[in-house]
Amino acid sequence: MTSPSLPRQPGASGQPGASGQPGASGTALLADAETTDRMVAALQGEGTCWCGPTTWHGRRAMRVSISNWSTTQSDVDRSIAAVLAAAR
């Protein structure tokens, strides 16, 4: 299953990706490593969008990569809903 990526948001920093389109990435720090791993697993299992685990400054974090010229507003809305559901 292919998951949509979120589009570059205004003010996000990023360099063009392989397609030549602008891209952005970010790192989200959650409460602790266990919470972060649960969130990543829930999002990957649900399949609407993709986030991956990483370590940033010695802390477990969630990596978010945003770069796809074909992403629609509906894709963004579904991805936001998936993140909010995973956070509950």
The pLDDT of residue 36 = 93
The CA dihedral of 45, 18, 69, 74, to the nearest 10 degrees, is 10
Q: Is residue 1 part of a domain?
A: no
User: What is the arithmetic mean of pLDDT over 55-79?
Assistant: 83
pTM: 0.65
Helix (H) or strand (E) holding 59: strand 59-66
- 2: which DSSP letter? P
The pLDDT of residue 66 = 62
Q: Is residue 61 part of a domain?
A: yes
What are 10-33's pLDDT values in tens digits? 334 444 444 444 455 677 888 899
Q: Count up the domains in the chain and report the number.
A: 1
Residue 76 is part of a domain; what is its CATH number?
3.90.1150.10
